[in-house]
Amino acid sequence: MLTPGKGFRQCLCRKPNQNAGLQSEFLNSHRKFSEERVENVEEFDEFRGIPLQRGITGIFDIEEFIVILNQQKLVNIVVIAVPSQLNYVDYMVITTGKSPRQMTAIAEFLRKVAKKRCLSSDPLPVVEGKNNKDWIALDLGNIALHIFSSQTRKMYDLETLWACGAEFDDLSNDKDDNLTTIMKG
């Protein structure tokens, strides 16, 4: 029986060249396995399935934009045609994200896609509220995208404001509006 001490340590520690053949064989088989795996791996393309040519009406045409939003698993998508006399955008798209992380990731992804699709004459897409967990807006030139958390979307209710008009929005017509009070004072 071995006891702790010099002899015990020698039994636990291998001599430097004792397993050199086994190590070499292991490394060679590992290299071969790694090379086989690399050959079978497809290159990751984050834009797979998304056309990268510019739309007819802007960076995105509204129909293909909605398809992309559905692919990205955004929910409760609402499209509002903005009157041309406002000289703002053609469409406002309002949707709900499932989490702040998803909202940020999708906004950044859409910005990247838009940058690939835009012409030199197109304005670069701008993401507002990147670090906001409740509301992120993306200006794509012809489309304004608003990605909300569900609670914030209910609170601001942009659908009513933009689809029906300010005259039908209770908050816009509130007699005790803080802005009105400040301007009178």
Percent of the chain topping pLDDT 70: 59
The DSSP element (H or E) to which 159 belongs, if any, is: helix 158-159
Which pLDDT band, with edges at 50, 70 and 90, does 92 fall under? very high
Please state which CATH number belongs to domain 62-184.
3.30.460.10
147 pLDDT higher than 90: yes
Main-chain phi, psi angles of 155, to 5 degrees: -65, -45
Sign of CA dihedral 83, 84, 86, 92: positive
Q: Residue 147 has what DSSP assignment?
A: E
> Would you give the DSSP letter of residue 7?
H
Residues 141-165, mean pLDDT to the nearest whole number: 89
Does residue 144 register a pLDDT over 80? Answer: yes
For the chain, what percent of residues have pLDDT higher than 90?
32
Residue 84 C-beta-side C-alpha neighbours within 13 Å:
0
**pLDDT higher than 60, residue 64:** yes
Domain ranges (residues) in the chain: 62-184
**31-56 per-residue burial string, b: 16 or more CB within 10 A, e: under 16:** eeeeeeeeeeeeeeeeeeebeeebbe
Q: Are 80 and 145 in contact (CB under 8 A)?
A: no
pLDDT the model gives residue 161: 83
Give pTM, 2 decimals: 0.64
Give the mean model confidence (pLDDT) for residues 104-117. 90
Would you say residue 159 has pLDDT above 80? Answer: yes
